[in-house]
A and B are shown apart, each in its own frame.
Chain A
Amino acid sequence: MSKYLLDKFLFTVDRDPELVERYREDPVGTVSWWEAERANTILSCTDQERSTWLAFTEEERQALREHDHVALFQMGAHPFLTLTLFIAIFERDHGPLEYQKAYGAAMRHISLPYPDIAT
């Protein structure tokens, strides 16, 4: 399990407007491409100096492919990253605050303590 890699996906997609659109339109393709091409890029290093060991578990891949924010929360992905990216993707399809409220309501069965987000 790699909470860090889930967070890295959410972080690097969120900051790139083209990737946000690509992840909205084609989540399955975007997750596969990102894992193959970007997962091992060290953000402050050149592309020649990549990591060699980062990969998603099948469960993580699935949660990202399905835009499943509840599963991501339960896996300990950083809630701020998930929320920010998912607002960028889905808020436009809803009325004011409607998406944010539904996002919380979908998790109302989850009680404290929440999953640990430490990486």
Chain B
Amino acid sequence: MATVAAVIASTHHPFYYRASTSAGADRPPFADTWVAKVEAFRETLTRAEPDVLVMVGSDHFHQLWLDNMPQFLVGKAPFFDANFHNEEREFGLPRMTLRGQEDLAAHLLRSGLDADFDLAFSNELRIDHSITCPIITLRPQADLPIVPIYTNIFAPPLPQPKRFVQLGRAIREMVESWPEDKRVAIIGTGHLSLELGGPRQFGEHGPDPEFDRKAVEWIAGGDIEGCLAEVTLDSLHRPGNATHGFMDFMLMMGVAGEGAKADHVDTLDLFHTMEAYFTWYPNGAPA
């Protein structure tokens, strides 16, 4: 049976690539601190020695569109090309091609459907920065096969927060029942408080530092119950109009499990949004 080698949750910040690769006058003052934190975070995945990555993210109106919008979708293909023209244009993100782990994708689809998650699938999925940002931060050599799982945190009506947690729990169980002797890291990215295209965007900090403080506490302590007691589809409008991306963190809390304290917790207060990085080792920290 497969082993969950690590569970990893983080924000995905499309500006990291440019900030970390810029030099001279173009290099922002916070770049060195940011790179140091990301490299420490990367080490938590490297130490887990994964063979395969299950990657949870959300398409930002790139391939998925309102004429045919899935709530949860599994990519099942031998390859995934990555990043889109507007991500190249705005963030300088590079084009990439990642290998897919089709047998694990098939296993997740079959066992997910049998567990009452009506998962959509795609046999030709171009993935965007919600998945390539963590590749860049955590596995820049991009050498491992992936199974992308997309959630809809973007185009209402959205699934309820508890459904994200339930799917996270199910993904953990399904990966653990995959009959292959492989080490799987489950990685998901979302947001803390965030405003995009509204009056509170691009401030000195994230739009709601108090929400961010609480959110980091919920995630780091595995406090699913406390989080679900406060977070609703309506309440997520208050910290910022793009804060529904926090539900991908809630999914990852479901993967990690109730009460599971993260083994690595780090944050970085940036303009516009707070960065946050979490790693759990469900089977004990690697030596």
Residues of chain B in range 223-254 having any CB-CB distance to chain A below 8 Å? 237-238, 241-242
Q: Which residues of B contact A101 (CB under 8 A)?
A: 202
Task: Give the residue name and chain of the B residue nearest to A101 (CB).
Answer: B202
Are B84 and A104 neighbours in the complex by a CB distance under 8 Å? Answer: no
Residues of chain A in range 5-47 having any CB-CB distance to chain B below 8 Å? 7-8, 11, 14-15, 17, 42-44
- Asked if B166 CB lies within 8 Å of chain A CBs, one says no
Interface string of A50-69 (1 = CB under 8 A from B): 00000000000000000001
Are A82 and B68 neighbours in the complex by a CB distance under 8 Å? Answer: no
Contact of B86 among A8, A88, A109 (CB under 8 A): A88
Are A8 and B66 neighbours in the complex by a CB distance under 8 Å? Answer: yes
In the complex the two chains form, what is the Cα distance from A87 to B14 in whole Å?
15
In the complex the two chains form, what is the Cα distance from A63 to B154 in whole Å?
23
Task: Give the residue name and chain of the B residue nearest to A14 (CB).
Answer: B86
Are A44 and B237 neighbours in the complex by a CB distance under 8 Å? Answer: no
Q: Which residues of A contact B198 (CB under 8 A)?
A: 73, 79, 104, 107, 110, 114
Q: Which residues of B contact A15 (CB under 8 A)?
A: 84-86
Task: State whether A108 and B65 are in contact (beta carbons under 8 Å apart), knowing that A15-B86, A80-B154, A84-B90 are contacts in the complex.
Answer: no
Q: Which residues of B contact A108 (CB under 8 A)?
A: 199
- Asked if A113 CB lies within 8 Å of chain B CBs, one says yes
In the complex the two chains form, what is the Cα distance from A100 to B196 in whole Å?
10
Distance from A80 Cβ to chain B, minimum over Cβ atoms (Å): 5
In the complex the two chains form, what is the Cα distance from A104 to B202 in whole Å?
8
Are B66 and A100 neighbours in the complex by a CB distance under 8 Å? Answer: no
Are B156 and A117 neighbours in the complex by a CB distance under 8 Å? Answer: yes
In the complex the two chains form, what is the Cα distance from A11 to B238 in whole Å?
26
Are B237 and A114 neighbours in the complex by a CB distance under 8 Å? Answer: yes
- Asked if B24 CB lies within 8 Å of chain A CBs, one says no
Are B156 and A79 neighbours in the complex by a CB distance under 8 Å? Answer: no
Task: Give the residue name and chain of the B residue nearest to A84 (CB).
Answer: B86
Q: Which residues of A contact B66 (CB under 8 A)?
A: 4, 7-8, 119
Interface string of A77-119 (1 = CB under 8 A from B): 0111111100110000000010011011101111111101111
In the complex the two chains form, what is the Cα distance from A84 to B237 in whole Å?
20
Are A44 and B67 neighbours in the complex by a CB distance under 8 Å? Answer: yes
Contact of B199 among A7, A80, A107, A119 (CB under 8 A): A107
The 6 A-B pairs at the shortest CB distance, nearest first, are namely A79-B197, A83-B197, A107-B199, A118-B156, A104-B201, A100-B202
Taking Cβ atoms with an 8 Å cutoff, the residues of B that contact A are 60-61, 65-68, 84-86, 89-90, 154-157, 195-203, 237-238, 241-242, 271
Taking Cβ atoms with an 8 Å cutoff, the residues of A that contact B are 4, 7-8, 11, 14-15, 17, 42-44, 69, 73, 78-84, 87-88, 97, 100-101, 103-105, 107-114, 116-119
